[in-house]
Amino acid sequence: MKFTAMISVFALAAAGPAAAAVKLINKDAKAHDIKIQCGSTSTGSIQSNVTREIGKGPCSVTVNGSSAKGADGDTLVIKGGKVSKQ
């Protein structure tokens, strides 16, 4: 029983942390309309100086005609009205 428990703990530790979602940070002083594609497409807005998780990657974000792609754990940043991968 102890041996099985030790193997289970080791297996969980070896798997590592679960992959994080793609984050979007708006560093601008104004809100922006955004288009997000993470499997499905959605539109909305992000307020100024806000960070939010947008979904499991790969994801694509479009802001004012510029776009960037990110995978799980990546951070996309809006600055100067344009989005880019950090």
Kindly state the helix (H) or strand (E) to which residue 68 belongs, with its residue range.
strand 66-70
CA separation for the pair 25, 44 (Å, rounded): 14
pLDDT digits (tens, 9 = 90+) for 4-35: 444 444 444 444 455 689 999 999 999 999 99
**What's the domain count of the chain?**
1
pTM confidence score: 0.77
DSSP H helices, the chain, are 2-15
Three-class SS of residue 47?
Answer: coil
Q: Tell me the pLDDT band of 82, cut-offs 50, 70 and 90.
A: very high
Strand ranges (E), 1-86: 22-26, 32-38, 40-46, 50-55, 59-63, 66-70, 75-79, 82-85
Domain assignment of residue 13, yes or no: no
The answer to whether position 50 is within a domain reads yes
In a domain, 12, yes or no: no
Tens-digit pLDDT profile for residues 37-77:
999 999 999 999 999 999 999 999 999 999 999 999 999 99
pLDDT reported for residue 5: 41
Residue 6 within any structural domain of the chain: no
The residue segments making up the domain with residue 44 are: 19-85
